Each structure stands twice: as structure tokens, then as C-alpha cells.
A and B are shown apart, each in its own frame.
Chain A
Amino acid sequence: MNTLFFKIVLVFYLAGTLSYLLYLFKQRPRISKAATIILTSGFVFHTISLILRYLEAGYTPITNLYEAPSFLAWAIVGVYLFIQFKYRVTSLGSFISPVASILTLVSSAFSKEIVPLSPVLRSFWLPIHVILAFLGDAIFALAFCAGVMYLMQEHQIKSKKIGSFYHRLPSLKLLDDINHYSLTIGFLLLTMAMVTGSIWARHAWGAFWSWDAKQVWSLLTWVFYAALLHGRINIGWRGRVAAIFAILGFFAVMFSFLGVNTLLSGLHTYDR
């Protein structure tokens, strides 16, 4: 059942992405409405699919390469929809929905079979640790998209070549604000994910820190974002620099999220 819903979700996300991209080029209010409805429906189906998977598998569905990207996509769409309804920045959707679609596609490439959970994961720390980490990642995805949009808009204004994107993208201030807030919240969530992770590691592996590949990459990402946060608060980094940092930071996030599990091996590798 959950995989059937997953297929529906994939269709909705792809259709939603197309509509959001169409909206970017043809600024019709009708298109943005349709895009929002499609993406929101996708999100609802996704939620149902996750609940079904939880009931069928008996654990929070975030443990393998089918479940994790899909869960992250769900979190990203959720965070985005919240922001769209609150701040009405629909153009952000044209950038964030492709990210969610790509993650869902990645997810669909892996086996959807439900395998018994390895004993070490059978813990109440699993949902706490992983949900914190994923929410943080989702918010960093937001900062990533705002960063890309910032660079595009800044280029338009600086080069004085006012194209059509100039009218479509929000103001630099708003994009920089998104960068600032998502950075702060994302960093907080990442920190909490790492703290809960190491407490769990103390129980599961016997040590708070074991130089596992994922731990190392997460720490690098954390240091990177800490540097950006410090720069923002104390040195007055903003705008372009902050946007570039947010973009690079998200690549680090994606590597520690997907790359570590597929390319490197370590204690976090459970499904092989």
C-alpha cells in the first residue's frame, strides 16, 4: 500500500514541479494556484504513505536509502508549504520543488522492500535523532534555494541587465532574511541532532564519538554552518557571501546525507 501511495506522490511532485516552473515563466495567478494545490495534495499523499509505511514496518521509515530521501523530501515540502502559506513567496516553490522531486526520484531508485530493522536501531532515539537531523536538512535546503535565487537576483541588479526574472524573484532583503532565519533554525536542529545522536551512540556503540564517516561529515557540515553563523552575526556577512555559503553548505549536507551511505562505509551504514 505505502509503495502505491509513494508512486502517486512521485507523480504529484513531478507535476507540481512542472507547474511551479511554468509559473516562473508565465506569471499567471491560476498557475500558481494549481501548483500549490498539486504540491499540497502530493504532500498529503506523502504523509499517508509515510504513516502506512510506519504501520506496515513497525518503525519510523527513515532507515534505508528508499526511506530516507523520501522522508527528507517530505520534510522539505512541508517546511516550504508552511513558508508559502505564511509569507506568500511562491517563486521559492519553483526552486524548492525540483529539489524535493529529485530526492523522491533518488528514493524510487532503491528497493522498497521492508526489511527487519537491525537491532541497534530499535530504539526510541531513532525517530528523535533522525527527525531532528532531517528537519535541519530540510531547512538547509530552503537556505540553499534562497541562496540560488539571491545570486540570480543580485546578478540581475548588479549587471543592470533587468530581465524577466527581476520582476519574478523576491527582493534581495527577503531572500537574505530567509537565509538568516533558516540558517539559525537549521543550525539549532543540526546541533540537537548531533547531541541526541551522540547520546544514542553512547548507548548503542558504547562511545559518544567514534569517528564514523557520517559523524565526521556531519561535524564538518556543523563547523561550516557555525562559521557562516558566526560571520553573519559578528562580521556582518550577508547577501552574496551568505548565499554562496548556504549553497556550499547544502552540498556538504547532501554528501553526508547520501554520499556517506553510498560511497563510504561506517557505523551509520545499516542497509548493506
Chain B
Amino acid sequence: MHIIVVGLNHKTAPVELREKLYFPSENIEEPLKRVTSLPQISEALILSTCNRVEIVAVTRDIREGTEEIRNFLSSYHGIPMSQLDSCLYSYDSCDAIKHIFQVASGLDSMVVGEPQILGQLKDAYSLANKYKTSNAILHRFLHRAFSVAKKVRTETKIATSAVSISYAAVELAKKIFDTLKDKVVMLIGAGEMSELAARHLLNHGVKEILIANRTHSRAIKLADVLGGRPVVFEDITLFLDQADIVISSTGSANYIIRSDDVVRVLKIRKHKPMFFIDIAVPRDIDPRINDISNVYLYDIDDLEGVVGTNIKMREEEAKKAERIIEKEIGQFNKWLGTLSAVPTVVSLRERFEEIRKKEVEKTISSLNGSSEVDVKVLDALTTSIINKILHYPVTQLKTLDNTREGNYFVDAVRKLFDLEEK
């Protein structure tokens, strides 16, 4: 039994192709059932997100199984193989295990370490469960992948730092103010970027949002959407003392907020810290205000710098994550190897032989050397009993091997007789 992965992702295929291959989760039952009814495939799950479409399957024959799934993808979506071929990748055995562990840990994502993919993989797994296309191997495999992902998350700092401009801004705000619960935000300019940043801040519980825009009607409109309070553009400096966080993004050619405005406002605020985020080009806020004590100013380049450092840090952490994964692959692969009938039969026989020997020895020592019973006879008797008992299960295991239920029985036998690898 082998694990294979066939699919494509944002690195190998353009979005036009990815969306054609997309499997909507509402209608996932049919393709799942079709994959598992392929002659070589015994278990399958379909992971379909906007960045990747992958089929994880268990097969008896790597080459044929892979080919079947590739053809399925092509025929199911009606895309000629010639078009698909260059974008599809396939992995088997250790490489497949490694790939799914990486995907689950977010190492294969566009933004390294992003947590969404783990949830999507969990959803894909539960759908496969729901439609009963997953069995012993995929159960064990996916649970392993989830726990590897968790390990990566707790033992590395892969997902701790912000890798988007607006998140970096929120993170900075938290490093300055600790909590954003009682903070007031002022948006100057009702652009898309500032709206996005404002939404992030709202999610972190800011108390109030003041919105000023040169065209006042737009300020009113955005205030409606965000639940904020519109402020007349000319009155910005009058309201500035209320704001803890100011996000500016107007198209103005001159500075809208000048250094002496801030100095004056800071006195009114009793020097309570202020955080200015200037995402406008040309800039809206006099850069000199960063020199004022308790005032922090970040422009778009500064924020991009922070994001850049964070991405570098994530990539460093990804190396650590790879090491964790490397260790786990070996362990899982070992377990997979035990799942075929032959090693299981061997260890089952060993287990029975062990018990038999122990009991025979006990009996002999309790007989105290009296020669009433021949030791050889005793041995022959017990051995033949064991062989008789094991005969049917062993043939059954061997015939079921390489069928759909085979792994299930092998796994059950290993559990029932405690044959797990220690």
C-alpha cells in the first residue's frame, strides 16, 4: 500500500487553470466516489482551495494509481492532458508524506506559515470521512499531518509575525498600546487601503473610528459601513487630540498633519502615545513627527520593511520546520510498511509462539521433572493448536492484502494483538 499525491498549486499552474480544476465542496461526493472506484485506488481525499487542487490517495501500484488519477482530473474537468501535463505534479511514498506534512504546516503556501490551509485540509479530510472514502491509512496519515502541523506551529515561530501591511500595522499598534480596546482611530482619506487597515483594527476591538475625507459624502458613506463617525476634513486638527491611531491616505500634495500640530495636540493629551500610519504617496504626514517623544510614525516603506523582515524570519523558521517534518516522515513510513500482511503475519506468529513457549515452560516446571508427560508431545500439541487457530486468519489476511479492506484488517490485527512498533 502506497500513498500518492497528484495535483497542482499556485507555483505550477496559473489561476485560469486552477479555477477550472476547482472541486466545490458542496458536490465533492461524486468525484470522491469516482476516484475510489478507480481500479488501483482504495482511499482518497480531495483538497481543493483557490491555491491548490490535490488528490491524496492510497494505491496498490504507484505508477498505475498515479496515471489513473491524472486521467481522472483530465476527464472529469474536460481538460485535455496536453494542457494539464506540465502543471501537474505527483508524489509517492515518502515524498507524498513529506508533501502533505509541508502543506499542513503551511510551508508550501504562498505566504509561508499561513494557518488557513490547515483548516482547509481538515475540512477535506472530514468530507472524505463523511462520504467514507477514507480508511485506516488516510485516517492515520491525516491525523499525523495535523499533529505535525501543530508541532511546527508550537516549536517554531513560523506563524507569529505579520506578513501583510495592514497586519504589520496592527501588530505595531499592539506593541505600542498593548490593547486596542479603548483606542480611537482616525482615518484621513477614505481609500481602500485605509479601510482595510481600519477593519483589522476594528477586529481587534478599537473603541471608535473617526473618518475624514475631502469629499465629505464619502466619509459619511464609509462611516456608515464601518460604524464610525464622520469628521469634516477641515476640522481634522480639532479632533486630532482624540485619536490614538491615525491612518492617512489622501492624494494631497502637501503635508496634512504638521509637526507643530502634533506637538500641540500631545500637550492636550498629556503625552499619551500616538501612532501615525501614513500610507499615502506623496506622504501626508510630516516625517519629523517621529522624533517627538511618544509619537510613532510609519510610512508605507517602513511598513513594507517590517513585512520584509518578518517574511525573512518566517523563511528562517521554515528551515526548522523542515527538520521537524523530516523526523516525522520516517516514523510514519515505518508504520505504513508494517501494514502489508507479510510482516504482520510474522509478528503475529511470533507473539503466539512467545505465549506458547512461556506456558509450556510453566507447565514443565510445575510437573517437577516427573516423566509422566513427554516434553516433546507437549510441544507438538501446543504448536499444532496454534497453527490450527492461526490458519484461517492468516490465509484471510493474505488474500485480503491489497484489497480495499485489507489495511483495515491488518491494522485491526495489529491493534488486537498489540503488535504495534514500539
Q: A and B, one complex?
A: yes
Q: Is the CB of B160 within 8 A of A167?
A: yes
Bound-state CA distance A32–B177 (Å) is 25
Bound-state CA distance A28–B294 (Å) is 32
Q: Is the CB of A236 within 8 A of B175?
A: no
B273 at the interface (CB under 8 A from A): yes
A174: nearest residue on chain B (CB-CB)? Answer: B178
Q: Is the CB of A239 within 8 A of B175?
A: no
B176 at the interface (CB under 8 A from A): yes
B309 at the interface (CB under 8 A from A): yes
Are A157 and B296 CB-contacts (below 8 A) given A171-B174, A172-B176, A173-B178?
yes
Q: Quick one: CB contact mask for B149-183 with A, threshold 8 Å, 1 for yes?
A: 00000110100110000000000101111110000
Partner pick for A157 among B157, B172, B269, CB 8 A cutoff: B172
Q: Is the CB of A172 within 8 A of B306?
A: no
B293: nearest residue on chain A (CB-CB)? Answer: A240
Partner pick for B177 among A158, A164, A173, CB 8 A cutoff: A173
B305 at the interface (CB under 8 A from A): yes
Q: Is the CB of B177 within 8 A of A239?
A: no
Q: Quick one: CB contact mask for A138-181 with B, threshold 8 Å, 1 for yes?
A: 00000000000000010001101011101100111110000000
**A contact residues around B176 at 8 Å (CB):** 157, 171-173
Bound-state CA distance A237–B179 (Å) is 21
**A contact residues around B296 at 8 Å (CB):** 157-158
B175: nearest residue on chain A (CB-CB)? Answer: A171
Q: Is the CB of A158 within 8 A of B175?
A: no
Q: Is the CB of A239 within 8 A of B178?
A: no
B67 at the interface (CB under 8 A from A): no
Are A27 and B157 CB-contacts (below 8 A) given A157-B172, A174-B178, A238-B271?
yes
Q: Quick one: CB contact mask for B288-307 with A, threshold 8 Å, 1 for yes?
A: 00100110101000100110
A117 at the interface (CB under 8 A from B): no
B270 at the interface (CB under 8 A from A): yes
Query: For A162, A164, A239, which residue has the most chain B Cβ atoms within 10 angstroms?
Result: A162
Query: How many positions in chain B have a CB within 8 Å of any CB in the partner chain?
Result: 29
**B contact residues around A120 at 8 Å (CB):** none
Bound-state CA distance A174–B309 (Å) is 24
Partner pick for A160 among B175, B272, B294, B298, CB 8 A cutoff: B298
A241 at the interface (CB under 8 A from B): yes
B306: nearest residue on chain A (CB-CB)? Answer: A162
A159: nearest residue on chain B (CB-CB)? Answer: B290
**A contact residues around B155 at 8 Å (CB):** 28
- How distant is A178 from chain B, measured CB to nearest CB, in Å? 11
Q: Quick one: CB contact mask for B322-358 with A, threshold 8 Å, 1 for yes?
A: 0000000000000000000000000000000000000
Bound-state CA distance A173–B290 (Å) is 18
Q: Is the CB of B178 within 8 A of A171?
A: yes
A30: nearest residue on chain B (CB-CB)? Answer: B155
- How distant is A25 from chain B, measured CB to nearest CB, in Å? 12
Partner pick for B271 among A157, A170, A172, A239, CB 8 A cutoff: A239
Are A153 and B271 CB-contacts (below 8 A) given A27-B157, A158-B296?
no
**A contact residues around B302 at 8 Å (CB):** 160
**B contact residues around A241 at 8 Å (CB):** 293
B269: nearest residue on chain A (CB-CB)? Answer: A236
Q: Quick one: CB contact mask for B116-141 with A, threshold 8 Å, 1 for yes?
A: 00000000000000000000000000
Partner pick for A238 among B267, B290, B294, B305, CB 8 A cutoff: B294
Q: Is the CB of A162 within 8 A of B157?
A: no
Partner pick for A167 among B154, B161, B290, CB 8 A cutoff: B161
B309: nearest residue on chain A (CB-CB)? Answer: A162
Are A158 and B290 CB-contacts (below 8 A) given A153-B175, A171-B178?
yes
**B contact residues around A236 at 8 Å (CB):** 267, 269-272
Partner pick for A237 among B267, B271, B273, CB 8 A cutoff: B271
**B contact residues around A167 at 8 Å (CB):** 157, 160-161
Bound-state CA distance A162–B309 (Å) is 7
**A contact residues around B269 at 8 Å (CB):** 236
**B contact residues around A163 at 8 Å (CB):** 309
A156: nearest residue on chain B (CB-CB)? Answer: B175
Q: Is the CB of B305 within 8 A of A166?
A: no
Within 8 A of B (CB), among A105-134: none
Bound-state CA distance A238–B295 (Å) is 12
**B contact residues around A170 at 8 Å (CB):** 178
- How distant is B150 from chain A, measured CB to nearest CB, in Å? 14
Partner pick for B175 among A27, A166, A237, A238, CB 8 A cutoff: A166
Bound-state CA distance A28–B156 (Å) is 9
**A contact residues around B172 at 8 Å (CB):** 157
Bound-state CA distance A160–B290 (Å) is 10
Bound-state CA distance A33–B313 (Å) is 24
Q: Is the CB of A239 within 8 A of B293?
A: yes
A238: nearest residue on chain B (CB-CB)? Answer: B271
- How distant is A180 from chain B, measured CB to nearest CB, in Å? 13
Q: Is the CB of A239 within 8 A of B160?
A: no
A176: nearest residue on chain B (CB-CB)? Answer: B273
Bound-state CA distance A166–B310 (Å) is 11
- How distant is A152 from chain B, measured CB to nearest CB, in Å? 12
Q: Quick one: CB contact mask for A223-249 with B, threshold 8 Å, 1 for yes?
A: 000000000000011111100000000
B154: nearest residue on chain A (CB-CB)? Answer: A29
Q: Is the CB of B294 within 8 A of A171?
A: no
Q: Quick one: CB contact mask for A26-61 with B, threshold 8 Å, 1 for yes?
A: 011100000000000000000000000000000000
Are A160 and B306 CB-contacts (below 8 A) given A171-B178, A172-B176, A173-B178?
yes
Q: Quick one: CB contact mask for B308-323 with A, threshold 8 Å, 1 for yes?
A: 0110010000000000
**B contact residues around A240 at 8 Å (CB):** 293-294
Bound-state CA distance A226–B103 (Å) is 59
Bound-state CA distance A211–B288 (Å) is 48
**B contact residues around A29 at 8 Å (CB):** 154
**A contact residues around B161 at 8 Å (CB):** 167
| 15 examples of A-B residue contacts, CB within 8 angstroms | A157-B172, A157-B175, A157-B176, A160-B306, A162-B310, A167-B160, A167-B161, A172-B178, A172-B273, A173-B176, A173-B179, A236-B269, A237-B271, A238-B273, A240-B293
**A-B contacts besides A28-B155, A167-B160, 9 pairs, CB < 8 Å:** A29-B154, A157-B172, A157-B175, A158-B296, A163-B309, A166-B175, A171-B177, A236-B272, A238-B272
What 10 A-B pairs are tightest by C-beta distance, nearest first?
A236-B270, A173-B178, A171-B178, A236-B271, A160-B302, A239-B294, A162-B306, A171-B175, A174-B178, A162-B309
